[in-house]
A and B are shown apart, each in its own frame.
Chain A
Amino acid sequence: MALPIAIGLLVAAEVLPAACVARTGFVGELGLDGSVRPVPGVASLVAAIDADRIVVPAAASAEAALVAGGRVRPASTVAEVVAALRGRAPWAKVASLAAPRSAVREPDLLDVRGQIVARRALEIAAAGGHHLLLVGAPGSGKTMLATRLRGILPDLTPDESLEVLRIHSAAGAAAIGALDARRPPFSAPHHGATEVAVVGGGTSWLRPGEISLAHAGVLFLDELGEFPAPVLDALRQPLEEHVIRVRRARAAIDLPARFLLVGAMNPCPCGEGSLPGTCRCTDVMRRRYLRRLSAPLLDRFDLSIALGRPDVEDLLGGPPGDSSAVVGARVRRARALAQDRGVRCNSELRFDAVDGPSTLSPDAAALLERRLRSGTLSARGLHRVRRVAQTIADLDGVAGVGERQVAEALQLRAARSALVPGVDQ
């Protein structure tokens, strides 16, 4: 039974005077033992209730308080609610949001040895919001790198934080428990996940999927080639519109899904891929492995790089690169520059805006023109390269986009064409 109905019955039976419940909202479920149990989506429900005080399950009081502040009244049993409503006992204190993640150290980029190119790509991805594809043999550090992306992303804005909170609240207590309200979320569904689990939906209870749980954060798809093709193709709309429109027979919802996509995969089933002579995969096996990656999906990756296994010398104490804190500061500076252009990050730049603030240097334009004429760069690829080049320029702290930035942007998407020969740049 729901708590509001129970209270309604009590009022109707004149156990509770009607005056006690004036301008009071109730959220929660009632157990058979009289306990008030949390329901999913408390944060959104509380935000929708126009009342002076809102009684919520004690377990969900922290998230409710972030939305509704001092109007929240936690309760753990129905007896407690009745007593407090009659003024015979004080309301319980609002619990503070547990922050389990802050106890665990966020993985730091310092742990990554070598991998100059991959580290650079990670930094560009974070600064410009460019989707990143990592292709490399097992043990080349794809997962290690991807899990460190969150650490170099800037903190959420208060608005974003609230959005994230409401999505995670709607997904249930387990999701909210793993959330650190200020930091961007990180979601890494296994490739066995169903389409509903990834994009959202469900029969009786429409639940946000992993892509919405990654809203304003990072969606990491390890073993990209192993995901079912429908799941991968379902990503195309949110990647484009930052929203997932879940349509089911009995319900339809739009859920926010603006995430930074990081894909990781082996170059071929055996994983030895590009190294000549070591790969034992036949052409048929390779094609079957890559078949699920449609060209439109691969097109969404602004950055795609091939990873080799790190050198032994690097692993046994080579010079460490910059720490996440140092890289994160550079990312924040670059994002501030993008915000001056009126976008959250450079991946959202419109083409007219790319033409606007910083024009291409003559030799950069000449390089792009030669690539366009030789057919190794498509019109769509051109805009992506220009956005990435803008991010590189922002990170380098140079005013205009020059040949260096454009050449680097071109290089950092080259791995994609090696993967699927049909895909142009």
Chain B
Amino acid sequence: MTDSPPFPDDKALTDEQRYGAGLAALGAAPGTLRKFLDGYQPAQAWQAIARGRHRADPDCRYRRKAVPATLDTVVAGVLHSGVSIHVLGGPDYPSALAQDRQVPAVLFSTGDVAALEGLPRAAVVGTRAATVYGLGVASELGRGLARAGVVVVSGMTPGIDAAAHAGALGADAGAPTVGVLGTAHDAVATGSQVALRAALGARGAVLSEIPPAVHSAPWWFAARNRVMAALAHVVVVVECHHRGGSLHTVSAALARGATVAAVPGSVRSPASAGTNRLLVEGAVPVRDVDDVLTAVELAVVGRPDIRPPGPPPAPGRCTVGSSPPGPLAPWHRRVQRALGQDPATLEAVVRRSGLALGDVSVALEALAEAGLAECEHGW
């Protein structure tokens, strides 16, 4: 074994962490895992299962797996992927989760878990099959919430979740953002997911209750939703299909008394069928980030341990850079009026302003530089 790549010294792990990870790697459901640790230290629990004497495992179902090889595999995985282990009851276990009924007994994280302590948290969730509208709103909410000092919690999947994270990361300053994985940290992921995990590790945290080197099962995604619901004071659903997975998060949030908010969408868009129904059933409507901030503020009233969200970000679009906007001529204003609120094609702007294409182009360049116009899916 002298030729094998040197792993970091596993002495870095405490016994509690080692056996905690080992217990998680047995493949028990979250509830069973909690029972394993109920009244036992991790090392004791492991020994008891290995001897077939644990009261939570009367049929000795997990005895076969509780062997040193399992422990070695998971410890190697933990060291290789550089995750931290948090065992319920330990000093570094996130207090935001510790009080939850269905708390994950063992948690694996990258990034800075302590950063989310004491901050208000909002989950921004939704479908993978999102529309341009949903992605835009999710990113806008993520950015606005992070700026106002609200931790954005989401699920790392492509679509709404990734857009919310990206928006929060795009804020120039503000609260960290937390991703909750439905897989292990070292599970195979697409390039954009890998990039997102790295970015969150640097500015926020990524949580998973599945140990590294352990294969995930689809039901973990549903289980993951309860962790998001437990973390969040407010759950915002941006887009969700008729029977979308985000509704799991919603019911988990309702069971915990968290506020559920939803972004209205077109009544013809299947991607908004779930959210529109939530609104009918009484969810808080979300038009912009201010609506979410109000809901968060109400949710954390009477919680002195949670800092209320900061002032809402300044309305309007952010101005571009530091270049001083040049003086705008009257015909620049005419083009600006012709732009309207909705995105418009160049053709529409030329028609509404009644100016020549060359003049409109010069004006659009000037307006874009002054931060008064933006080219994105049309002007």
Q: Residues of A at under 8 Å CB distance from B?
A: 114-118, 120, 273-274, 276-277, 279-286, 305-308, 311, 367, 370-371, 374, 392, 396, 403-405, 407-408, 410-412, 414, 417-418
Contact B378 A404 (CB under 8 A): no
**Chain A residues whose CB sits within 8 angstroms of the CB of B269 once the complex forms:** 277, 280
Q: Find the residue from A306, A371, A405 having the highest chain B CB count within 10 A.
A: A306
- A409 and chain B: residue at smallest CB distance: B361
Bound Cα distance A32, B357 (Å): 65
B305 at the interface (CB under 8 A from A): no
Contact A407 B347 (CB under 8 A): no
Interface stretch among B74-82, B202-210, B278-286, B369-377? B369-377
Q: Find the residue from B158, B323, B364, B377 having the highest chain A CB count within 10 A.
A: B377
Bound Cα distance A116, B355 (Å): 11
Give min CB distance, B163 to chain A, whole Å. Answer: 9
Q: List 12 A-B contacts (CB under 8 A).
A: A115-B347, A120-B357, A274-B345, A276-B132, A279-B132, A283-B129, A283-B130, A370-B323, A396-B358, A403-B362, A408-B361, A411-B361
Contact A308 B342 (CB under 8 A): no
Contact B347 A279 (CB under 8 A): no
Give min CB distance, B363 to chain A, whole Å. Answer: 8
Contact A116 B350 (CB under 8 A): yes
- B320 and chain A: residue at smallest CB distance: A374
Given contacts A117-B357, A407-B361, contact A276 B342 (CB under 8 A): yes
Q: Is the interface of A mostly helix, strand, loop or mixed?
A: helix
B343 at the interface (CB under 8 A from A): yes
Contact B347 A118 (CB under 8 A): yes
B218 at the interface (CB under 8 A from A): no
Contact B323 A116 (CB under 8 A): no
B14 at the interface (CB under 8 A from A): no
B128 at the interface (CB under 8 A from A): yes
Bound Cα distance A404, B130 (Å): 39
Contact B358 A276 (CB under 8 A): no
Bound Cα distance A371, B323 (Å): 12
Contact of B358 among A280, A281, A405, A417 (CB under 8 A): A405
Please encode chain B, from 323 to 362, with 1 for each CB lying within 8 Å of some chain A CB and 0 for all others.
1000000000000000000110111101100000111111
B321 at the interface (CB under 8 A from A): yes
**Chain B residues whose CB sits within 8 angstroms of the CB of A284 once the complex forms:** 128-129, 158-159
B40 at the interface (CB under 8 A from A): no
Contact A418 B347 (CB under 8 A): no
Contact A281 B131 (CB under 8 A): yes
**Chain A residues whose CB sits within 8 angstroms of the CB of B129 once the complex forms:** 282-285
- B358 and chain A: residue at smallest CB distance: A404
Q: Which 9 A-B pairs have the closest CB atoms?
A: A407-B361, A404-B358, A282-B129, A411-B361, A408-B361, A407-B362, A274-B377, A117-B347, A308-B345
- Category for how many chain B residues contact A: 35 or more
B289 at the interface (CB under 8 A from A): no
Interface contacts beyond A274-B345, A408-B358: sample of 7 additional A-B pairs, CB < 8 Å, sorted by A: A120-B357, A280-B270, A283-B129, A306-B378, A308-B347, A367-B365, A412-B346
- A117 and chain B: residue at smallest CB distance: B347
Contact B132 A116 (CB under 8 A): no
Given contacts A410-B365, A411-B364, contact A116 B130 (CB under 8 A): no
**Chain B residues whose CB sits within 8 angstroms of the CB of A371 once the complex forms:** 365
**Chain B residues whose CB sits within 8 angstroms of the CB of A418 once the complex forms:** 375-378
- B323 and chain A: residue at smallest CB distance: A370
**Chain B residues whose CB sits within 8 angstroms of the CB of A411 once the complex forms:** 346, 357, 360-361, 364-365
List B75-133 residues whose CB lies under 8 Å from chain A.
Answer: 127-133
**Chain B residues whose CB sits within 8 angstroms of the CB of A281 once the complex forms:** 131-132
Q: Residues of B at under 8 Å CB distance from A?
A: 127-133, 135, 158-159, 266, 268-271, 320-321, 323, 342-343, 345-348, 350-351, 357-362, 364-365, 369, 375-378
Given contacts A283-B159, A306-B378, A414-B375, contact A116 B131 (CB under 8 A): no
Contact B323 A276 (CB under 8 A): no
Given contacts A120-B357, A276-B342, A280-B270, contact A307 B362 (CB under 8 A): no
- B377 and chain A: residue at smallest CB distance: A274
Bound Cα distance A281, B135 (Å): 12
Bound Cα distance A411, B358 (Å): 9
Contact B358 A407 (CB under 8 A): yes
Q: Find the residue from A120, A311, A407 having the highest chain B CB count within 10 A.
A: A407
**Chain B residues whose CB sits within 8 angstroms of the CB of A274 once the complex forms:** 343, 345, 377-378
**Chain A residues whose CB sits within 8 angstroms of the CB of B359 once the complex forms:** 404
**Chain B residues whose CB sits within 8 angstroms of the CB of A120 once the complex forms:** 357
Contact B365 A277 (CB under 8 A): no
Contact A283 B132 (CB under 8 A): yes
**Chain B residues whose CB sits within 8 angstroms of the CB of A403 once the complex forms:** 362
Bound Cα distance A284, B127 (Å): 11
Given contacts A404-B362, A408-B361, A417-B375, contact A286 B132 (CB under 8 A): yes
Q: Find the residue from B268, B271, B350, B375 having the highest chain A CB count within 10 A.
A: B375
**Chain A residues whose CB sits within 8 angstroms of the CB of B321 once the complex forms:** 374
Contact A283 B131 (CB under 8 A): yes
Give min CB distance, B160 to chain A, whole Å. Answer: 9
- B321 and chain A: residue at smallest CB distance: A374
- A287 and chain B: residue at smallest CB distance: B158
**Chain A residues whose CB sits within 8 angstroms of the CB of B358 once the complex forms:** 392, 396, 404-405, 407-408
Given contacts A407-B365, A417-B375, contact A306 B135 (CB under 8 A): no
Bound Cα distance A396, B361 (Å): 15
Give min CB distance, A306 to chain B, whole Å. Answer: 5
Bound Cα distance A371, B361 (Å): 14
**Chain B residues whose CB sits within 8 angstroms of the CB of A276 once the complex forms:** 132-133, 342-343, 377
Give min CB distance, A334 to chain B, whole Å. Answer: 15
**Chain A residues whose CB sits within 8 angstroms of the CB of B369 once the complex forms:** 370
Give min CB distance, A113 to chain B, whole Å. Answer: 12
**Chain B residues whose CB sits within 8 angstroms of the CB of A367 once the complex forms:** 365
Bound Cα distance A371, B132 (Å): 26
Bound Cα distance A422, B135 (Å): 16
Contact A404 B361 (CB under 8 A): yes
Bound Cα distance A407, B181 (Å): 46
Q: Find the residue from A285, A405, A411 having the highest chain B CB count within 10 A.
A: A411
Give min CB distance, B300 to chain A, whole Å. Answer: 32
**Chain B residues whose CB sits within 8 angstroms of the CB of A404 once the complex forms:** 358-359, 361-362
Give min CB distance, A390 to chain B, whole Å. Answer: 14
**Chain A residues whose CB sits within 8 angstroms of the CB of B364 once the complex forms:** 407, 411
Given contacts A404-B359, A407-B361, A411-B360, contact A280 B347 (CB under 8 A): no
Contact of B361 among A273, A282, A306, A410 (CB under 8 A): A410
Bound Cα distance A403, B271 (Å): 44
Give min CB distance, B238 to chain A, whole Å. Answer: 12
Give min CB distance, A319 to chain B, whole Å. Answer: 12
**Chain A residues whose CB sits within 8 angstroms of the CB of B348 once the complex forms:** 308
**Chain B residues whose CB sits within 8 angstroms of the CB of A407 once the complex forms:** 358, 361-362, 364-365
- B239 and chain A: residue at smallest CB distance: A282
Contact A307 B131 (CB under 8 A): no
**Chain A residues whose CB sits within 8 angstroms of the CB of B135 once the complex forms:** 283
Contact A307 B320 (CB under 8 A): no
Contact A282 B130 (CB under 8 A): yes
**Chain B residues whose CB sits within 8 angstroms of the CB of A280 once the complex forms:** 131, 268-271
Given contacts A404-B358, A404-B361, A418-B375, contact A277 B345 (CB under 8 A): no
